[in-house]
Structure 1
Amino acid sequence: MANFLKRLFKSRDKPKDSVSQAPNFYMGQSVSGKVVNERTSMQTTAVFACVRIIAETIASLPLHTYRYRGEGKEKMYDHPLYRILHDEPNPEMSSFTLRETMMTHLLLWGNSYSQIIRNGRGDVLGLYPLLPDKMLVDRDQKGELYYTYRKEGQSYYLGPDEVLHIPGLGFDGVMGYSPVALAKNAIGLNIAAEEYGGRFFANNATPTGILSTSGTIKDPTKVRDAWQAAYGGRNNYKVAVLEDGLQYQAISMPNSDAQFLETRKFQIEEICRIFQVPPHMVADLSRSSFSNIENMAISFVVHTIRPWLVRIEQAMNRKLFKEKEKGQCFVSFNASALMRGDYKSRMDGYAIGIQNGFFSVNDVRRMENMDPIPEEEGGDLYLTNGNMLPLKLAGAYAKKALEENAGDEE
């Protein structure tokens, strides 16, 4: 079927659009005058915290390789991909490090690229992350995608089967757009506010001002330089002596009057909005309470983490499995640990599951990382309350059945 669709596609008009020339959003100077790129943005605490929280959360989730078995599934411990994705994608890094790097690239550049190393049979032997700012994606004359990786003045050409490309949100279905580039003005304002605060306190939090007099100053530059030398910088707490009728008047408002702290706080909320991270996770507890913080954590898993997991899983299923394995084998994150809740809530949920027969004792013990109870001791039994009966055995249905049985016996 896949080969038929490929031939059908080739028989039609080839795509004429060039991916590299598609509309894009570029990093650079923001309206605040600050240069915003993936590196300067990570120097702001809010961006660093949001990227770290999402990347570390996804990297810490177990990633397993499965095959469908009847109506269920089973882990494929013997599949070459299992060890690569779960433990060690290459000799230089762990699975956690690779996925953390992939997510960092996605959150800053909007795209993640990893080179796929295969053997002659097509089995994946390793994955190596590639820097997104060194990658060019385009189409050849036949309309096929190809990747050009530029490193140390050399260009390396890679086919689509050699690159695990995970795009973020985009417009053409091929390339993702950088959240940092899209929100560079908001991030630039945050950088400008941080620099303003740094310069303000570098001047010992003393506002600037003017020297005025009713008379005429022949050389104002000399007077200004003399004042700066005597009372500027580290000397600004010295007692000033004014001559020739000079008067000093401050012209800058204190930070409290300029709502400096409120501006910085709002920009933190703006950056959290960009990455869909609840503010309490970056230590902003102003709108958090004991009653809503757990709900916000669950919302973070559902609306922030889960879409990224689906995006990564589907890209891996497309690129890493052989054609004959697709539809039979798949990779999947185990995100159940993020939804566990507090201890009492978990125990109440487990009790309901055991009493209604869809959890066994060993099912619960596995979810709590406890050793299972031996099968002969009843650890794998599925139980239900004795007062729960099928409808046909209750009330009028049971009476009618008994009467019919009695009639047959007569």
Structure 2
Amino acid sequence: MFLSGLFEKRESISNPSQEFVDFMGGGVTTSGKSVSEETALTYSAVFACVNVISETLASLPLFLYGKKKGAKEKARDHPLYELLHDMPNEEMTSMTFRQTLQVHLLLRGNCYAEIEWGPNGFPRALWPLNAASTWPERDKKTKKIVYKTIIDGQGYTLPAERVLHIPGLSLNGRHGLSPIGLMRETIGLGMAAEEYGARFFSNGAKPGGVLEHPGNLSDPAKKSLVKSWNDMHRGLENQHRIAVLEEGLTYKQVGIPPEDAQFLETRKFQVSEVARIYRVPPHMIADLEKATFSNIEHQGIEFVSHTMRPWLVRWEQALRWKLMTSNERKNYNAEFNVEGLLRGDTKSRYDAYHMALNDGWMSGNEVRKLENLEEKPELNEHLINGNFTLVKAVLNAIENIKKGGEGLE
């Protein structure tokens, strides 16, 4: 970690500011489950959504592009290229770094990284900061935004130019709202249903019941009877065992069967609710109930357009804003390559390429590049279908024919 003692020390973990206390949130839901950003990850639907979005973003190629003679090309010689594409610091790859920050963003609504500036004026490393203990605050003296962070119980203040901050949905534009905090009740209900199912099966998949005895039993006898009954019949391994009831003892099942309580439907609905929160198509988190062969491909494209694109734009704009000077922004831009995610089936792609080649706005090498094929020198030229004719020329030819002249040449 590059963070040094040069930063002014402020509050400690035992005495944080009120803004930090408000930011942390937390609490028990109506369902009785305590839901935080960490515990929410133990719920399979949340884990699946966070994992699929963060892995997708982190695995996309991230390039730095520059302008040369009016054309866009990869700026491989720029110091930022390797930092973004390969290794943001000496301890992690670009994928690990981006996935870590995106997980923070999806759980807490914000992600932060410290920018280590080199002597040449370019960033030379990016170090993740814990989003659980980092937050923006306006300095009372300078009125500028600074960032408070707590490391090993000690508080530090970092100037804004040293922090890469990507906020999610926000009400004030400088601090994102936690999706888990906002949707705590929804996630809590799903976690409660999951726990109910686990307890249901741990009790032998039977609702509660009562043992009736015609006589009066002493307290020690009652405790002994309950213990022996549970030891004999509780748990999946004891299902379907034969119970021998003596001395007029009878067993009566009580409670509502889970089918009547729509237990399974509740669990399915909560999975859909979490998918709705993160705008993830259900089939991408293994919910194939409503998926069909014809709609999965379009849902995949919608995932790129409506789920991933807003996150990618947030990243691209934050990287451009925080890591480049005003002059560099005129000539350089960081962009994710999403072409691979937008590919349709083979026939659809080839039909689209055929139209692009016939219309002359793509060359053969541009098509081969999209298919990750080696370029051929003879395929650099743009072609156009020779049968196309201007409408104006056709109308003029008709007029010439009417006047006894020739038609189209």
Q: Distance in 1 between matches of 2:376 and 2:206?
A: 70
Cα separation, partners in 2 of 1:159 and 1:380, compared to 1, 3 Å: same
Q: Distance in 2 between matches of 1:247 and 1:234?
A: 16
What CA deviation, in whole Å up to 9, does each residue of 1:108-136 have, x standing for no partner?
A: 01101011011133201011111101113
Greater Cα shift, 180-189 or 198-207: 198-207
What CA deviation, in whole Å up to 9, does each residue of 1:338-369 have, x standing for no partner?
A: 11111111111111111110111100111100
What is aligned with 1:388?
Answer: 388
Cα separation, partners in 2 of 1:22 and 1:238, compared to 1, 3 Å: closer
What is aligned with 1:364?
Answer: 367
CA contact (8 A) 1:111 1:176 kept: yes
Q: Distance in 1 between matches of 2:115 and 2:24?
A: 28
What is aligned with 2:4?
Answer: none
Unaligned runs of 5+ in 2: 1-16, 235-240
1:82 aligns with 2:85: no
Pairing of 1:199-348 with structure 2 (within 5 A): 199-213=199-213, 217=216, 219=218, 221-236=219-234, 237-243=241-247, 245-348=248-351
Q: Distance in 1 between matches of 2:91 and 2:397?
A: 68
Q: CA deviation at 1:165?
A: 0.2
CA contact (8 A) 1:98 1:129 kept: yes
Q: CA deviation at 1:254?
A: 2.6
CA contact (8 A) 1:392 1:398 kept: no
Q: TM-score, normalised by structure 1?
A: 0.87
Q: CA deviation at 1:390?
A: 3.9
Unaligned runs of 5+ in 1: 1-17
Q: Distance in 2 between matches of 1:169 and 1:27?
A: 18
Q: Distance in 2 between matches of 1:19 and 1:102?
A: 25
What is aligned with 1:186?
Answer: 186
What is aligned with 1:197?
Answer: 197
Cα separation, partners in 2 of 1:233 and 1:37, compared to 1, 3 Å: farther
Q: What letter matches 1:48 in structure 2?
A: F
Considering only aligned residues, what root-mean-square deviation do their CA atoms show, in Å? Answer: 2.4
Cα separation, partners in 2 of 1:300 and 1:197, compared to 1, 3 Å: same
What is aligned with 2:7?
Answer: none
Total equivalences in the alignment: 381
Q: CA deviation at 1:289?
A: 0.9
CA contact (8 A) 2:97 2:128 kept: yes
Q: Distance in 2 between matches of 1:173 and 1:324?
A: 25
Greater Cα shift, 260-269 or 221-230: 221-230
What CA deviation, in whole Å up to 9, does each residue of 1:87-115 have, x standing for no partner?
A: 11111111111111111010001101011
CA contact (8 A) 1:122 1:322 kept: no
Q: What letter matches 1:324 in structure 2?
A: N
What is aligned with 1:113?
Answer: 112
What CA deviation, in whole Å up to 9, does each residue of 1:307-364 have, x standing for no partner?
A: 1111111111110002321232211111121111111111111111111101111001
What CA deviation, in whole Å up to 9, does each residue of 1:210-258 have, x standing for no partner?
A: 233565x353x43431222211044453423243x44321112332232
Q: Distance in 2 between matches of 1:29 and 1:325?
A: 48
1:49 aligns with 2:48: yes
Pairing of 1:43-192 with structure 2 (within 5 A): 43-69=42-68, 71-141=70-140, 142-192=142-192
Determine helix, strand or coil for the equivalent of 2:252.
strand
Q: What letter matches 1:364 in structure 2?
A: V
Q: CA deviation at 1:23?
A: 6.9
Cα separation, partners in 2 of 1:153 and 1:21, compared to 1, 3 Å: closer
Greater Cα shift, 114-123 or 19-28: 19-28
Q: What letter matches 2:112 in structure 1?
A: Y
CA contact (8 A) 1:27 1:180 kept: no
Q: Distance in 1 between matches of 2:191 and 2:86?
A: 38
Q: Distance in 1 between matches of 2:385 and 2:171?
A: 54
Q: What letter matches 2:229 in structure 1?
A: Y
CA contact (8 A) 2:211 2:250 kept: yes
Q: Distance in 1 between matches of 2:337 and 2:328?
A: 21
Greater Cα shift, 386-395 or 358-367: 386-395
Q: TM-score, normalised by structure 2?
A: 0.87
Cα separation, partners in 2 of 1:234 and 1:124, compared to 1, 3 Å: farther
Q: CA deviation at 1:386?
A: 1.0
CA contact (8 A) 1:170 1:177 kept: yes
Q: What letter matches 2:343 in structure 1?
A: R
Q: CA deviation at 1:151?
A: 1.2
Q: Percent identity?
A: 43
What is aligned with 2:14?
Answer: none
CA contact (8 A) 2:204 2:233 kept: no
